[in-house]
Structures are given as structure tokens and as C-alpha cells.
Structure 1
Amino acid sequence: MFHLLLAACLANDPAICAERLLPAADAPDQQDCQRKAEPIARDWLARHPDLKGGEARCVATSELPALTVTEIADEVYFHQGAVEQLSHRNQGRIANTAFIVGDTVAVIDAGSSRAEAEALYAAIREVTDKPVSHLILTHMHPDHIMGAEVFSEAGATIVASARLPEGVARRVDDWMMSIPRQIGAQAFLGTHIASIDQKIDAPMTISLGSTELMVTPVPKAHTDNDLLIHDSDSATLFTGDLVFRGLTPSLEGSLKGWLDWIAAGPPMPDIALVVPGHGPVAATWEEAVAPEWQYLEALRDTTRKAVSGNMPLSRAIPAIVSMMKPFSEGWADFDATTAHNASTAFSQIEWE
């Protein structure tokens, strides 16, 4: 297969440039790709007025920069993001992403930038030339969703919680300014928010022919728009950021709701693998959730102490972080994320 790469630069800073992959021009031979290049590049640039285009060229799949993926089960492929926060060093590639190959391909999460999603798309094309039919976004956070436009251009239906668009709309202006500073303007070049095609508020099944994906909305927990995805053939459960491993859990939804979700036990009886939003794949439900459960329980208990001691928020946050120190082992970015969590938990527990 051959793919169109378009040189593009920021219109207001022509020193910041990169090649962008335009999947709409994919073709079985180079001549066909080149024939489609000019109109597709022109239309794409019209939809990205912040960019100016340059040379376009068609290259084979083997020439594309691709994410490294591992086949964790039959026809289930996984890329583990860096277990750390966004930075120039990791170019924002911190969230786990995955794809399942059936008669078509379903992708789970799209990364924090167009460049990351292009590299994920290249990894898919190294495995199969089957069409990408679906992109499922596990929740609204930018490290999971900002690359979605690539898969929309490839023809995928973008699936997300019905509550996701509202959450994104409240934050996207800040993200479009802050993320380029965090990961680098070149790494973020060409990244635009994509629209959601299928908004769900009840469990639904996506058929890939040889396997089915059960997609289930979860009550308010990590966020108010979390989804679970279960692959019937491999019994792999994709949790998004309902499960963190290695990177300190980040609370934006409901602490009580998150603890209740974990306490309820495995959401389905047949789970062979658990793929978290961050960190390595787990072989069992207990292995996946036990450290997070301990952390969140400690966050609840220490925050209750601060609230019952009538501490103001300004004193409570450092006190909670200090009381949480015994639970810091194995968690990256512990202090900063726990301080954020303490503020969120304090406001929730204060009103219990």
C-alpha cells in the first residue's frame, strides 16, 4: 500500500514544519496515490487554515514512521505509552492505544496529537490493509483523543460517550494552547479536534465480523464519560483510564463513583487480559486494579481527615499529599497528581 505525505508548516511560523500523513489518498500502487494527491492535499489544507502546504509525495507503508505494537492476543495489538506526564521528550505519547483486527479494524484511543495517530495508523497498515471501521474513545482526556481526525479521514466512525463532546467543548481552547507548549509545536502540528459520529449512553455491540466489541458507558468515576470495551473473541477488556498502572491515577469525575466501580468487581465474567489507559497489560482483574484501589481508598481516607479537621483547602492539599506519601511507591508523577486529586476529593467529601 502507498500513502500520501504532505509537507506542512505553521502559517504564522514557517520554521515549524513536518510531513503529515493523509490517509484519504491510500492506494494499492504509487501511481494511484499520486493521482489522488493534489485534490486531497488541497482539500485537507482548506480544512487546516493554520497550515501552509509544500511538497507531497507517496511512499510505501514500510517508509512510514510507526508506533511499536505488540500482539497481546490473537488479532489484538497494543502500544504502551510512556508512563509519565506530557513532555517534549515523550512528544505527548503517554496513553495506551490498541487495535483489533476482524473483518475490519477497530481502534481504541487515538493519542495526544495527529502525529501520534498517524504513527498508530502506520502500525495498523503494517499489520493489515483491512479498512478501519471504528475508533472508540474511552474518555475525553486529550492524551487519548487528539489524534482522532486521522481515523475520521481514513473512514472510521468515531464512537464516544454521549457526555464526551460537552466535556471536550469546555476544555478544548485551553488544550489547543497548553498542549503544544507541553509536547512541542512541531509534535502537535496539524492537530485538530474531530467530531463524534456515534454518541452512546447505553451498552452497544460493534461487530467486526469475526469478533464483537461490547462498548459500555460507566457511571461517573474517573470522568463522567468513561467507556469500557470488551472483545468477545479474545476476552480482552479495555478500561481506558478507569485503570491506571504505574502513572498516578487522576481524578476528574467522582471519587466515590470510582471506588464503587472497582468494588463491584469484574464488569464481565470472562476477562483474559486487562488493558489499562496507562501502564502495562494485566493478566487478571485483581492485578489490574489492586494498587489503584489502595491509592484511591487512601485518598478518600486522608481527605476525610483533612475535612473533619476543618482544614481550609490551602492547608488541606499539602497535608493530604504528605499523608499519602506511604502510598507513593510505584506511582509516577505522584506529588503533582495527588495534589490535583486532593483538591477534587476535598470538594466532593466536604459535601458528603
Structure 2
Amino acid sequence: MFHLLLATCLANDPSICAERLLPSAESPSVEECHRKAEPIARDWLARHPDLRGGAARCVETAGLPALNMQEVADGVFFYQGAMEQISPGNRGRIANLAFVVGDTVAVIDAGGTRAEGEALYAAIRSVTDKPVSHLILTHMHPDHILGAEVFAEAGASIVADARLSDAVARRTDAWMMSIPDQIGQAAFMGSRIAPVDQKVDAPMTISLGSTELRLEPVKSAHTDNDLTVFDSESETLFTGDLIFRGLTPSLDGSLSNWIDWVDGTGPDPAPSLIVPGHGPVAATWDEAVAPERQYLHALRDATRKAVTGGMALSRAIPAIVSMMKPYSEGWADFNATTARNAATSFSQLEWE
């Protein structure tokens, strides 16, 4: 298989350049790829006015930069993101990503930039030439969704919780300004929000032929638009950021609902493998959620002490972080994330 790479530079800074993979030009021969190149590149650049195009070239799959995926179950491939906050060093690649191969391919989360989405697509093509039929977004956060346009261009239907689009729309302008500053303009170039095609407001099943994916919306917890995915053939559960392992959990939804979720016994039937939003896969529900359960309970208890003690928010945040210190072991970015969580949990629990 041959793939089109287009040289691009930022229109407002021609010194910042990178090649972009345009999956709609994918072809079985180099000649066909070259025939497609000019109109596809022209149309793509028209939709990306912030970029200027240069030379295009067609390369075989092996020549594409690809994420290093692990096959964690039969037909289930997993990429573990860096367990840290986004930075120039990690280029925003901190989220766990996955894909499931059936008669077609379904992708679970798309990465934090266009470039990461392209590298995920290249990893898929290194495994199979089957069409990518679905991209499932587990929640709204940019490290999971900003590679989505690559898969839309490849013909995939983008599937997400019905609440996700509105949540993303409220934050898009801020992300498009802040993320390039955090990871670098070159790493971010070409990244943009892709619209959701299929909005999920009740449990539903996606058929991949040889396997089925069960999608379950979750009431506000980590965010207000969380979605889990269960692969029936491998019995793998993809939780998105409802489960953090190693990277400190971040609260952008409801603390009490999140605690209720992790305090549960998990799905029935019990999964054989659990893929969290951050950190390594787990074999059992307790292995997956026990550290996060302890952290969230401690956050609730510390916040309640601050609230009942009559503290103002400015005093409560450092006090909560201090009370949480005994639970900091094993959590990356503990202080900064816990301070943000303290502000959110305080605003929620002061109304109990």
C-alpha cells in the first residue's frame, strides 16, 4: 500500500514545517497514489488555510512514522502514552490509544495532535489493510481527540457520547491557543477538531463482523461525556480516563459520581483485560481501579474537612493538597493536578 505525504509549512511562519499524511490518497500502487496526489492535496489545503503546501511524495507503509503498538489480546492493539502532562518533550502524546481488528477496524481514541493520529493510522496499516470503519472517542479531552480528522479523512465514522460535541465547542478556542504553546507549533500543526458523526445517548453495539463493541455512556464522572467500550471477542474493556494508572486522575466532571463508578464491581461479564486512559493495562477490576479509588476517596474526605472547617477556597486548595500527601506515591504530576482537583471538588462539595 502507498500513502501520500504532503510537505506543509505554517502560513504565518514558513520556518515551521512538517509532512502531513493524507489518508484519502491511499493506493495499491505508487502510480495511482501519484495520480491522486494533486487534487487531494489541493482540496486538503483549501480546508487548512493556516498551512501552505509544498512537494508531495508517495511512500510505502513501512516508510511511514508509526506508533509502537502492542498486541495485548487477539486483534487488540494498544499504545501507552507518556505518564506525564503534555510538553515539548512528549509532543502531546500522553493518552492511551487502541484499535480492534475485526472484519473492519475500530479505533478507540485518536491522540492529541494530527501528527499522532497519522502515526496511529500508520500503525494500523502496518497490521492490516482492512478499512477503518469507526473511531470511538471515550471523552472530550484534547489528548484523546485531536487526531480524529485523520480517521474522518480515511472514511471512518466518528462516534462519541452525545454530550461531547457541546463540551468540546466550549473549549476549542482555548485549546487551539494553549496547546501549541505547551507542545510546540511544529508538533501541533495541522491539528483541528473533527465533528462527531454518531452521537451515543444510550448503550449501543457496533458490529465489526467477527466481533462486537458494546458502547456505554456513563453519567458525569471524570467528565460529563465519558463512554466505555467493551470488545466481545477478546473481552477487553476500554475505559478512557474513567481509569487512570500512574498519572494523577484529573477531575472535570462529578467527584461523587466518579467515586460511585470506581466503587462498583465493574462490568458484567468481568473483562479479561482493562485498558485505562493512562497507564498500563490491567488484568482485573481491582488491579485497575484500587489506586484511583483510594485517591478519589481521599480527595473527597480532605475536601469535606476543608469545607466543614470553614476555609475559603484560597486556603482550602493548599490544605487539601497537604492532606493528600500520604496518597501521592505512584502518581505522576501529583501536586499540580491535585491542586486543580481540590478547586473543583471544593466547589462541588461545599453545596452538599
- TM more than 0.5: yes
What is aligned with 2:265? Answer: 265
What pairs up with 1:132-281 in 2 under 5 angstroms? Answer: 132-281=132-281
TM-score, with length taken from structure 2: 1.00
Q: Which amino acid aligns with 2:72?
A: I
- Find the aligned partners of 2:253 and 2:265 in 1 and give their Cα distance: 19
- Find the aligned partners of 1:18 and 1:290 in 2 and give their Cα distance: 42
What pairs up with 1:55-204 in 2 under 5 angstroms? Answer: 55-204=55-204
Which segments of structure 1 move beyond 2 Å, counting only runs of 4 or more? none
Q: Cα deviation per residue 1:160-211 (whole Å; 9 max; x = unaligned)?
A: 0010011000100000010001111000010111000000100010000000
1:269, distance to aligned residue in structure 2 (A): 1.7
Q: Which moved more, 1:59-68 or 1:261-270?
A: 261-270
Q: Which amino acid aligns with 2:240?
A: G
- Find the aligned partners of 2:103 and 2:335 in 1 and give their Cα distance: 45
What is aligned with 1:308? Answer: 308
Structure 1 gap segments, 5+ residues each = none
What pairs up with 1:317-336 in 2 under 5 angstroms? Answer: 317-336=317-336
What is aligned with 1:41? Answer: 41
SS at match of 1:165: helix
1:289, distance to aligned residue in structure 2 (A): 0.1
- Find the aligned partners of 2:57 and 2:270 in 1 and give their Cα distance: 47
Structure 2 gap segments, 5+ residues each = none
1:230, distance to aligned residue in structure 2 (A): 0.1
- Find the aligned partners of 1:269 and 1:198 in 2 and give their Cα distance: 26
1:313, distance to aligned residue in structure 2 (A): 0.1
What is aligned with 2:285? Answer: 285
Q: Which amino acid aligns with 2:324?
A: M
- Find the aligned partners of 1:134 and 1:249 in 2 and give their Cα distance: 27
What is aligned with 1:28? Answer: 28
Q: Cα deviation per residue 1:150-169 (whole Å; 9 max; x = unaligned)?
A: 00000000000010011000
- Find the aligned partners of 1:267 and 1:184 in 2 and give their Cα distance: 40
- Find the aligned partners of 1:328 and 1:306 in 2 and give their Cα distance: 19
TM-score, with length taken from structure 1: 1.00
SS at match of 2:78: strand
- Find the aligned partners of 2:191 and 2:304 in 1 and give their Cα distance: 41
- Find the aligned partners of 2:39 and 2:8 in 1 and give their Cα distance: 15
SS at match of 2:71: strand
1:2, distance to aligned residue in structure 2 (A): 0.3
1:267, distance to aligned residue in structure 2 (A): 2.0
Q: Which amino acid aligns with 1:329?
A: E
SS at match of 2:57: strand
SS at match of 1:166: helix
1:270, distance to aligned residue in structure 2 (A): 3.0
Identical-residue share of aligned pairs (%): 75
What is aligned with 1:12? Answer: 12
SS at match of 2:178: helix
Q: Which amino acid aligns with 1:249?
A: P
Q: Which amino acid aligns with 2:198?
A: Q
RMSD, aligned α-carbons: 0.4
SS at match of 1:233: coil
Q: Which amino acid aligns with 2:317?
A: I
- Find the aligned partners of 1:11 and 1:221 in 2 and give their Cα distance: 40
- Find the aligned partners of 2:272 and 2:171 in 1 and give their Cα distance: 36
Q: Which amino acid aligns with 2:15?
A: A
The number of equivalent residue pairs is 352
1:132, distance to aligned residue in structure 2 (A): 0.2
Q: Which amino acid aligns with 1:307?
A: V
- Find the aligned partners of 2:189 and 2:349 in 1 and give their Cα distance: 41
- Find the aligned partners of 1:128 and 1:268 in 2 and give their Cα distance: 31
- Find the aligned partners of 1:344 and 1:242 in 2 and give their Cα distance: 17
